[in-house]
């Protein structure tokens, strides 16, 4: 079963390289994937949400989701699983960006993107939430296009990001409720 999944991962990446990669998409997807480096775009959006009084609660939720993805995916899972990057294993696969320094599983770009975008999608007007979700999808797919993640890395990163978004939302709600109770002297 694992051999079948591994073979499927490999074949999908080679399909991206041989069929989908082209001179028009490559520069666009390189920029899109770079937006997710270190969670940069999502950190910037979170700061913006925190600055605007109307969206401060959503910004608090996205802050917790960023911390959650950092701890769970980047600090714990990447070190526990320590999966080799696909271009180091799949013969003929080339990558199109700087060599990542950490391991492959799970995709931190995907986890971070979906953790923040899902909160924005659920909590903000659709004119902000839908583009955030589209960007998350594009960043996740770009990781396959540039050849630095297996599809299973991206899939797990996406699922964990969605789960973390719900956990961050719940934690933020609990913290805000607790703060309000303490403010009014209810313990």
Angle made by CA atoms 103, 106, 110, in degrees to the nearest 5: 120
Which helix or strand (DSSP H or E) is residue 10 part of?
helix 2-15
For 82-135, what is each residue's pLDDT tens digit?
A: 998 999 888 888 888 888 888 889 999 999 999 999 999 999 999 999 999 999
Shortest CA distance to 110 belongs to which of 6, 25, 11, 33? 33
Confidence of residue 2 (pLDDT cuts 50, 70, 90): low
pLDDT computed for residue 1 by the predictor: 64
pLDDT computed for residue 90 by the predictor: 85
pLDDT computed for residue 106 by the predictor: 94
Shortest CA distance to 29 belongs to which of 113, 97, 80? 97
Task: Parse the chain into domains and list their residue ranges.
Answer: 2-183
For 136-182, what is each residue's pLDDT tens digit?
A: 999 999 999 999 999 999 999 999 999 999 999 999 999 888 888 78
Say what the pTM is.
Answer: 0.90
Q: Percent helix, strand, coil in the chain (nearest 5)?
A: 80, 0, 20
For 23-78, what is each residue's pLDDT tens digit?
A: 999 999 999 999 999 999 999 999 999 999 999 999 999 999 999 999 999 999 99
Q: What single DSSP character describes residue 80?
A: H
Q: Over 80: is that where the pLDDT of 4 sits? A: no
In CATH, which of 3.20.20.10, 2.30.42.10, 3.40.50.300, 1.10.606.20 is domain 2-183? 1.10.606.20
pLDDT computed for residue 26 by the predictor: 94
DSSP codes joined into one string, 103-143: -SSS-HHHHHHHHHHHHHHHHS-HHHHHHHHHHHHHHHHHH
């Amino acid at each position: 079963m694992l051999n079948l999944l591994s073979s499927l991962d490999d074949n999908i990446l080679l399909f991206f390289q041989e069929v989908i990669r082209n001179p028009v998409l490559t520069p666009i997807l390189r920029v899109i994937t770079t937006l997710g480096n270190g969670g940069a775009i999502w950190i910037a959006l979170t700061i913006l949400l925190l600055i605007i009084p109307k969206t401060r609660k959503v910004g608090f939720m996205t802050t917790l989701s960023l911390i959650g993805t950092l701890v769970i995916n980047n600090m714990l899972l990447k070190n526990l699983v320590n999966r080799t990057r696909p271009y180091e294993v799949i013969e003929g696969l080339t990558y199109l960006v700087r060599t990542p320094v950490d391991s492959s599983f799970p995709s931190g770009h995907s986890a971070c993107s979906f953790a923040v975008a899902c909160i924005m999608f659920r909590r903000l007007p659709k004119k902000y939430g839908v583009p955030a979700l589209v960007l998350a999808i594009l960043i996740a797919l770009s990781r396959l296009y540039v050849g630095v993640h297996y599809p299973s890395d991206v899939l797990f990163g996406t699922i964990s990001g969605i789960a973390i978004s719900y956990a961050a939302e719940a934690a933020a709600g609990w913290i805000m409720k607790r703060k309000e109770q303490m403010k009014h002297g209810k313990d």
